[in-house]
Amino acid sequence: MTDAIHVEGLSKTYNGTVRAVDNISFSVTPGEAFGFLGPNGAGKTTTVSVLTAQLAPTAGHATVDGIDVFRDPAEIKRRIGLVFQESTADSDLTGRENLELAAALFGVPRRDVKTRIDSLLERMQIGDAADRLAKTYSGGMRRRLELAVGIIHSPRVLFLDEPTLGLDPQGRAGFWRYVQELQKENGMTVFVTTHYLDEADSICERLAIIDHGHIVATGSPSELKDRIGGDVVTIRTSRTDASIETALRALPGVTAVSVQDGAYRVKAPKGDALVPVLVQTCVQLGVGLSSVSLKRPSLDEVFLEFTGREYREDGVTATDRAVRIGQVSQAFGRSRR
Ligand SMILES: Nc1ncnc2c1ncn2[C@@H]1O[C@H](COP(=O)(O)OP(=O)(O)OP(=O)(O)O)[C@@H](O)[C@H]1O
Ligand SMILES: [Mg+2]
């Protein structure tokens, strides 16, 4: 079976100096929801831009739906759908007009346009607001309209670049419900970048974590969590020294001890059983404790494990905004209002 997305040795350096994406390789199976996770500036938008034939890479190969992205960008654009974090809906057009415009731009056959638009409007629960200007829509409605625009031409592969940033939890859940339904019905492949690790955990069958342009881990959410090797108990102590570390390592059930950001991270298959023993050990050593926390494996822990840093959910960078606005205008072949 041909991969829905196949990437080999892909690199992108901006202005000869900024290595935004550095020799990444991965593949996505047809019908899969694949998550691309990473902090600000990791290279997510750059990767999406390259894979959607909007930005030339510095090196490497990529195919989407079996088509070479760099040899046949026009065909790629026909086969993919794209939803950005930046709003792409035209505020001064109604929801229906936005969809009609997209249908024309993407060459949806005339005879299919009306039924397709009607069914999408209903699906996305914006039917009642179809003839209102998009600028009167709530954030969640706009996102659903943009999702409808992104899939008007029934793309084989849907790229979503932080589609839910800024939406409340309810809006996020609603958005994903539609994406998952589409995925099930049409076997559409979904490539999504997100800052929300919990979201990626529940939506994506497989993930890649990208940091500073490098892929640091790939696998299903549960595989990645398993690689952490159990629960993590983090303790902050009044002092850190080698004798504490040695004592922690010797405790029953402990599989690893590391020091990160001035705290001890102690791994054990059963963290809850370890906590009282850890506290007792610190008392015996005469070490003060300022905090103790127990975490079941989560993607936050996976990120910390593979990058040595806490995951941050920051806003969108200025560069990113500028790049996106350029892409949006390009993708829609018109200037934004
Ligand atoms: N057009 C550009 N010119 C120069 N540098 C750029 C350009 N676009 C992005 N960069 C840089 O490339 C790196 C990767 O940026 P990219 O936008 O791909 O990251 P991202 O993972 O999408 O981040 P965010 O989470 O903020 O959206 C960053 O260091 C960024 O500043
Ligand atoms: Mg980005």
For residue 230, pLDDT over 90 is answered with no
pLDDT of the residue at 306: 84
With a pLDDT cut of 70, the percent of the chain lying above it is: 92
Please give the distance, rounded to the nearest whole angstrom, from the Cα atom of residue 148 to the centre of ligand 1: 27
DSSP string spanning 40-63? TTSSHHHHHHHHTTSS--SEEEEE
Work out the average pLDDT over 260-273: 89
Substitution site in 50, 320, 327 for ligand 1 pocket (most atoms within 8 Å of beta carbon) = 320
CA of 272 relative to ligand 1 center, distance in Å: 41
Q: Got the DSSP string for 248-291?
A: HHTSTT--EEEEETTEEEEEES-HHHHHHHHHHHHHHHT--EEE
Q: For residues 303-311, give the mean pLDDT.
A: 80
Out of 172-181, 209-218, 327-336, the most confident range is 209-218
Contact status, residue 124 vs residue 178, Cβ threshold 8 Å = yes
Strand order in the sheet with 214-219: 80-83, 157-161, 189-194, 33-37, 206-211, 214-219
Which position has the token pair 């589609």? 163
**Higher pLDDT pick, 14 / 197:** 14
Give strand pairing partners of 37.
194, 209
Residue 300: predicted pLDDT: 85
Answer yes or no: is pLDDT of 337 > 70.
no
Q: Is the CB of 194 under 6 A from ligand 1?
A: no
Categorize the per-residue pLDDT at 89 as very low, low, confident or very high, splitting at 50, 70 and 90.
confident
Give the per-residue SS3 of 243-254. Answer: HHHHHHHCCCCC
Burial of 27 (0-12, 13-18, 19+ CB in 10 A): middle
- pLDDT tens readout for residues 166-192: 778 887 888 888 888 888 888 999 999
Tell me the domain boundaries of the chain: 5-224+314-332, 229-296
pLDDT at 313: 53
The CATH class of the 229-296 domain is alpha beta
User: How do residues 24-48 score in pLDDT, each as one tens digit?
Assistant: 999 999 999 999 998 889 999 999 9
Residue bearing the bigger pLDDT, 166 or 268: 268
Instruction: Point out the ligand 1 atom lying closest to the alpha carbon of residue 315.
Output: 26
Nearest CA to ligand 1 atom 24: 40
Cα 22 to ligand 2 centroid, rounded to whole Å: 16
Q: Read off the tokens for 1.
A: 């079976």
Structure tokens at 239: 């002092």
Q: Probe ligand 1: pick from 193, 307, 323, max atoms within 8 Å of CB?
A: 323
Which pLDDT score, from 0 to 100, does residue 321 have?
Answer: 46
C-beta of 323 in contact with ligand 1 (< 6 A) = yes
Q: With contact defined as beta carbons under 8 Å apart, do 286 and 298 qualify? A: no
Instruction: Provide the CATH number for the domain formed by 5-224+314-332 in this structure.
Output: 3.40.50.300
Q: Is 28 in the pocket of ligand 1 (CB under 6 A)?
A: no
Query: Is the beta carbon of 186 within 6 A of some atom in ligand 1?
Result: no
Report the pLDDT value the prediction gives residue 178, as an integer from 0 to 100.
84
- Per-residue pLDDT of 104-141, as tens digits, reads 998 899 999 999 999 899 888 899 999 999 999 988 88
Q: Is 320 helix (H, G, I), strand (E, B) or coil?
A: helix
Residue 227 has pLDDT above 70, yes or no: yes
Which is higher by pLDDT, 269 or 4? 4
pLDDT value of residue 324: 47
Indicate the top mutation candidate among 14, 159, 197 to test ligand 1's pocket, ranked by most ligand atoms within 8 A of CB.
14
Quote the pLDDT of residue 287: 93
